[in-house]
Amino acid sequence: MVMPDFPDFNEATIAAIATPPGAGGIGIIRVSGPQSHAILQQIFQPKNPPQKFISHKLYFGAIVHPKTRAVIDEVLAVYMRAPQTYTREDVVEIHGHGSYLLLQEILSQIVTFPTTRLAEPGEFTKRAFLNGRIDLTQAEAVAELLGARTKEGASLAVNQLRGGLHGEIWKIRDALVALRAIMEVAIDFPDEEVEIFDAHGLKARLEREVQEPLAQLLARADGGKIIREGISVVILGRPNVGKSSLLNCLLREERAIVTEIPGTTRDTIEECLDIKGVPVRIIDTAGIRETVEAVEEIGIRRARQKLGEADLLLLVLDGGEGVQAEDSTLFEVAAGKKVVVVVNKIDKAPSLDLSLYADAFPGVPVVAVSATTGEGVRGLEDAVYEAAAGGKGLQEPGVAAPNVRHAAALQRALAAVRQVGEGMAANLPLDLLAIDLQAALSFLGDIIGETTTDDVLDMIFAEFCLGK
């Protein structure tokens, strides 16, 4: 992989706790850099001391204070020699007991060694990128994998980590480089331009090998965004139509208080669930009505605020009461939003005619459920997924899906490529076309990290957790 020409980054040895805060069975400290091996030799006493540490082999022993030699913890330690490591530097990992106090004590002794310091968030992965082990799309996939909220989100990140997006970008990039080479030869040998530069054939090749693959990648971006980030769903309705019962039913637990008294829910209640691979932040709100009770009024005001932030609204109606004027008013309030009408309490209205609701709320899905018995809830989950997907499958397994940063760069690359095609059709000078081709290459370089600025890199890696 060709790497960008970055200035030398800090060659200090870095260390961090790589496991989450809190008590656990095992806690891991990671060290990377030129002093890793020397540090291990001075603070680790193997039970059976070897003549030298064998790379990638675990040793049992104790971590001791470098000066007093007091035992801090019994651990397993491993030394991994560069370049066969995560960062392509010498790496040490210390696997101790999962007491955060012990881990902090070990870490504090490590950073007393010369040229050794605490790692910044994402610095191990940043070094892996700067040392050429992974490209920027794979580095970003590490953070996405750690933050994945559904199995599908994790699968998407693993595909990117294994080079799914990287491979597709490089195919397009190689095609652009080949076209650029032909164009440069035609510029350098103008007398042979007619023979070298077949504008019609090259335009077709540009569309087939560059423009169409770029458009296909972009088409996956929206689905990937939803799988990664999820959607916000607000449960909306007048008091006592069963909003809190519906929340409990979807969560499969008694999360919200349910009574027959109107106005029980005074504040918003937020929880997360997985609907067919889509992370859903679902929000139960106070029933919206005219009220003079001060606390309930605050809840209603917050409910209206959540409406504006939602990606999808579940408008809940009481199936035993039909469509009320307040229901129609709430539907008008939801104008401009995606809405699913949920007709609740069908266990109390066995002869329910859903066509009446479809006529009252044209153009939106209508689903009948019983939040008490669970009947129809699977159909509601399907309707939520369809609303999120926009009527199509969000993400095929094993395909690359650009994130927001990638999609912006792909849009710019596609615009530059289209400009080249239009220039060919208009017989513009080749040196002008070459400028647009080079711009497209630069935009693709931004995605994989060839031309990414230091500011963007700092922003990307700052989102990582410590120890990764």
CB atoms within 10 A of CB 259: 10
**Cα–Cα distance for residue pair 388/380, rounded to 1 Å:** 12
Q: What is the pLDDT of residue 264?
A: 45
Provide the pLDDT for residue 137: 92
Residue 256 has pLDDT above 50, yes or no: no
Q: How confident is the model at residue 242 (pLDDT cuts 50, 70, 90)?
A: confident
Q: What is the pLDDT of residue 223?
A: 87
Q: For the domain with range 145-220+399-448, which CATH number is right: 1.20.120.430, 3.40.50.300, 3.40.50.2300, 2.40.37.10?
A: 1.20.120.430
pLDDT at residue 1 greater than cutoff 70: no
The CB-side HSE value for 241 (13 A sphere, CA atoms) comes to 30
pLDDT band at 397 (very low <50, low <70, confident <90, very high): low
Angstrom distances, CA of residue 193 to CA of 150, 306, 449: 55, 62, 34
The helix/strand count (H/E) of the chain reads as 18, 13
d(CA 230, CA 374): 24
Taking each helix axis from N to C end, the angle separating 404-425 and 212-219, rounded to the nearest 10 degrees, works out to 150
**Phi then psi for 31, rounded to 5 degrees?**
-130, 135
| pLDDT for the residue numbered 289 | 46
Q: Tokens for 342, please give them.
A: 């949920």
378 pLDDT exceeds 50? yes
pLDDT at 2 over 50: no
- 13-134: which CATH architecture? 2-Layer Sandwich (3.30)
Give the pLDDT confidence score for residue 120 in this predicted structure. Answer: 93
3-class secondary structure, 385: helix
Give me the chain's average pLDDT, please: 84
145-220+399-448 and 230-389 have identical folds: no
pLDDT recorded at residue 257 = 41
For 89-93, 172-176, 305-309, 457-461, which range has the lowest pLDDT when averaged over its residues?
A: 305-309
Q: Which tens digit of pLDDT belongs to each residue from 98-120? A: 999 999 999 999 999 999 999 99
Residue 70 has pLDDT above 90, yes or no: yes
Domain spanning 230-389, CATH architecture: 3-Layer(aba) Sandwich (3.40)
Q: What is the pTM of this model?
A: 0.78
Ranges of each domain in the chain: 13-134, 145-220+399-448, 230-389
Coil, strand or helix at 76: strand
Report the pLDDT value the prediction gives residue 458, as an integer from 0 to 100: 84
Tell me how far apart the alpha carbons of residues 117 and 14 are, in angstroms, rounded to a whole number.
5
Per residue in 196-240, pLDDT (tens digit) is 567 778 888 899 999 999 999 998 888 888 888 889 998 888 888
C-alpha 238/C-alpha 247 separation (Å) is 15
CB 250 within 8 A of CB 269: no
Q: What is the pLDDT confidence band of residue 8, given thresholds at 50, 70 and 90?
A: very low
Q: What is the pLDDT of residue 18?
A: 94
> In the prediction, which pLDDT does 263 show?
46
| 38-61 tens-digit pLDDT | 999 999 999 988 888 999 999 999
Nearest C-alpha neighbor of 464 from the set 134, 129, 124: 124
* Share of residues in the chain with pLDDT > 70 (%): 86
338 bridge partner residues = 312
Better-predicted residue by pLDDT, 23 or 188: 23
pLDDT digits (tens, 9 = 90+) for 266-292: 456 788 888 888 899 888 876 544 454
Which of 84-88, 174-178, 358-362, 427-431 has the highest average model confidence (pLDDT)? Answer: 84-88
* pLDDT tens-digit series, residues 316-354: 999 888 888 888 888 888 788 899 999 999 888 777 888
